[in-house]
Every structure is written in C-alpha cells, then in structure tokens.
Amino acid sequence: MARLVVCFLIVLMTACSSSKVINTEKADNVDFSTYKTFDFYQVEARGDTISQKFNERVAKLQDAIAIKMQQLGYLLSKTNPDLLINTGIVVKEEVQTRQTDFRTDAPRYIGQRRYSWKSEEVETGRYREGTVTVHVIDAKQNKMIWKGAIEDIIPKKESRVEATITKGVNKLFDDYPTAANK
C-alpha cells in the first residue's frame, strides 16, 4: 500500500510540472552586465489559424517576460532599448493514444465468421501543445545574445492560462545568464 501511495505522489508531482525547457543558448563573448533596458519587437500574425484569444495571450506572455526581466534588473524602455525581445509561438493539436491490450480489450469480431485480435492505437483524448521561443537581441548590433524555447500543454480553462504562462517563463529564464547591473 505504501508503494502505491509513493507511486501516486510521484505521478502527481510530474503531472503538475509539464513545462519543459527545450533549449537555451547564450552567445559567446557577451557581457550581459552592459545592458540595462529592453523592449519587445512588434508581434505580427495573420491568417485563418489565428485564434480570437491570440493577441490577449501574447500580451500575457510579454507581461510575464517583462516582469521576469525587471526582476533580473532590466528596465522596460520604449525609446532606444539596449535589448529587443522577439517571441515566437507555435500551437499544435496533439492526439493522446494508448495501445490496446489483449487482457483488457478482448478479441472482437472482425469480418464474417472470423474472430481475431490485433494490437492497435486507440485515441483517448486531444490536447493543444504550445511552444514559445524567446530571442534576446542586442539592439545596436542587431545580434542575438540569448535564446530559449519552452513547451507546455495549453490549459482548456482560460483561468489557468496566465498561471501556465508565468510558470513557463520563470522556468525558461532560470537559464538566463546573468542579471543586469542596477
């Protein structure tokens, strides 16, 4: 019984932290302490695949990044920022499946008077997964100095979206090289 409880707690803890940092990369020979201000590139998106909530969610993403950058000691500046932040967002629908099992899915009738069983993938659900890439650019040199990407499952409940974005941005910026000079 104790083993079952421990296994359940492990599964529960891993299920709650689905944000996954895909990669982060810092440019060579960059002194991050020379940068003091930042701003965002203008986000441009168009097409029939853009959801109605896209602009609202991009604003939430930029707000979370701005808060994290300010916690690192940078100031948001709309005029001549030292750093420009470019965000990219990809959302795709995924299908969750399971493999059929002879013990639970028993033989079924296939064709005329032919009973057989074969293993197959069975759809159990659908979900949307989002990937966010963040590029931090030296505005004067127009050179990328840091980039990172993170992915997570997009919550179906709108009330959970902001918390998921904040959690993901915090996890991504844990790998940011250094804080700005204050």
Query: Domain extents for the chain?
Result: 18-173
- Number of C-alpha atoms within 13 angstroms, CB side, residue 151? 11
Assigned fold of 18-173: Double Stranded RNA Binding Domain (3.30.160)
CB 151 within 8 A of CB 18: no
Per DSSP, 82 falls in state S
3-state helix, strand, coil in the chain (%, to 5): 30, 35, 35
Q: What is the C-alpha to C-alpha distance for residues 22 and 26, in angstroms, rounded to an integer?
A: 14
pLDDT (0 to 100) of residue 111: 53
> pLDDT tens string for the chain (182 positions)?
444 433 443 444 444 557 888 888 888 888 888 999 999 998 776 655 566 777 788 889 999 999 999 999 999 999 999 999 999 888 888 888 777 766 665 555 555 565 555 667 777 788 888 889 999 999 999 999 999 999 988 888 888 888 999 999 999 998 888 765 55
Q: What is the pTM of this model?
A: 0.74
Tell me which residue of 64, 47, 38, 31 sits closest to 166, measured CA to CA. Answer: 64
CA distances from residue 123 to 93, 110, 117, 120, 147 in whole angstroms, order as listed = 13, 19, 18, 10, 35
pLDDT (0 to 100) of residue 146: 94
